[in-house]
Amino acid sequence: MAVLRAVLFDLDGVLTPTAEVHMRAWEQLFGPWSLEHGVAPYTHADYFAHIDGRPRYDGVAAFLASRGVELPWGTPVDAPGEGTVCALGNRKDEIVGHMFLEEGIEPYPGSVRFLDAVTAAGAGVAVVSSSRNTPTVLAAAGLAERFAVVVDGNVAAREHLHGKPAPDTYARAAELLGVDVAEAVVVEDAVSGVAAGRAGGFGLVVGVDRGVGAQVLREHGADIVVDDLGELDAGVLTVAGEGART
C-alpha cells in the first residue's frame, strides 16, 4: 500500500464554481467576435475543446487556430482589445473580473468537506491553477488561508513553467510541499489538467466531472472520476500502488 502525502487542487471547477463564470466570460468575448469576423459561431463545446484548463493566452490561440485565424501574440501588457492574442486574453480577464465583483464566489460545499478531511488526515494541500485571478478568487471564497502553497498563472510566468497539459505547475507545487510527485494526488475537472497529472507520474489523478464527461476524463488520465468531491474522504490518500491506475 502507498500513502499519499499531498493533495493538489485545481481551482476553477474543483474548489469553486468559477469555471461557469469563466465559461460565460469566454462566451461574451468570442460570441460577438465570431459574428464580427464571419467564422463559425463560438459554442459551449469550444470551451471544453480549446480553452478549459489552459493558460488564458494559450486558450485564445487554440480557439483562433480552430477557426483558421492567426494573430500576433503580443505582450501581457497589451490593452484589452482584439489586435493580438494577449489583447484578446486581457479583454476576457477584464470581463471575468467584473463578473467576480458583481456576483461574488462561494466554494463547492463538497469540495470544502473533502479539503477538511484530507487536511485533518495530515496531507499537505496546494492550489494549482492556470488563472492569474487565483489570489482574488481564493480570498473571495474564504479559502486563501487554507493554502500556503499556490502555483498559479502568475507563478508560472515568473518561474517560466509550462502550463497544463504539461505537468510542470503540479510538479512545482509538490516540490514546494516537500513531497515526490508519486506521493501526491492531482484533483482536476479539465482534460488538460488530468492529462498533466498522468504525464507527471502523480500517485493518483482524481477527475471531477463538471460537464466534460466522465469517460473523457478517464481517457485522458483520471484514475477516479466523481461528480462532486463530497463523494470522497481521506481514504483516497491510501492507494494500492500501481493498482490505482486501472
Q: What's the pLDDT score for residue 1?
A: 54
For range 77-95, the mean pLDDT: 95
152 is known as an active-site residue = no
Encode 31-60: b = buried (16+ Cβ within 10 Å), e = exposed: eebbeeeebeebeeebbbebbbbbbbbbbb
CA separation for the pair 214, 218 (Å, rounded) = 6
Please compute, for residue 154, the number of CA atoms within 13 A of its CA located in the half-sphere on the CB side.
7
CA separation for the pair 246, 61 (Å, rounded) = 34
CA angle 153, 158, 161 (to 5 degrees): 65
Condensed to tens digits (0 to 9), the pLDDT of residues 104-132 reads 789 999 999 999 999 999 999 999 998 88
Q: What's the pLDDT score for residue 18?
A: 83
Condensed to tens digits (0 to 9), the pLDDT of residues 35-77 reads 999 999 999 899 989 998 788 999 999 999 999 999 999 999 9
The grid coordinates of residue 123 equal 496531507
| Structural domains of the chain, with CATH | 2-17+106-244 (3.40.50.1000), 19-103 (1.10.150)
Catalytic residue among 10, 46, 52, 189: 10
CA separation for the pair 116, 131 (Å, rounded) = 23
Beta-bridge mates of residue 150: 127
58 is known as an active-site residue = no
Of 23, 20, 14, 19, nearest in space to 42 by CA: 23
Catalytic residue among 12, 168, 189, 223: 12
pLDDT band (50, 70, 90) for residue 206: very high
pLDDT at 165 over 50: yes
CA separation for the pair 161, 195 (Å, rounded) = 16
pLDDT at 177 over 70: yes
Of 148, 189, 191, 154, nearest in space to 169 by CA: 154
pTM of the model: 0.76
In the predicted model, what is the mean pLDDT of the chain? 92
Cα dihedral 133, 151, 190, 42 in deg (nearest 10): 30
Axis-axis angle for helices 168-177, 191-199 (nearest 10): 60
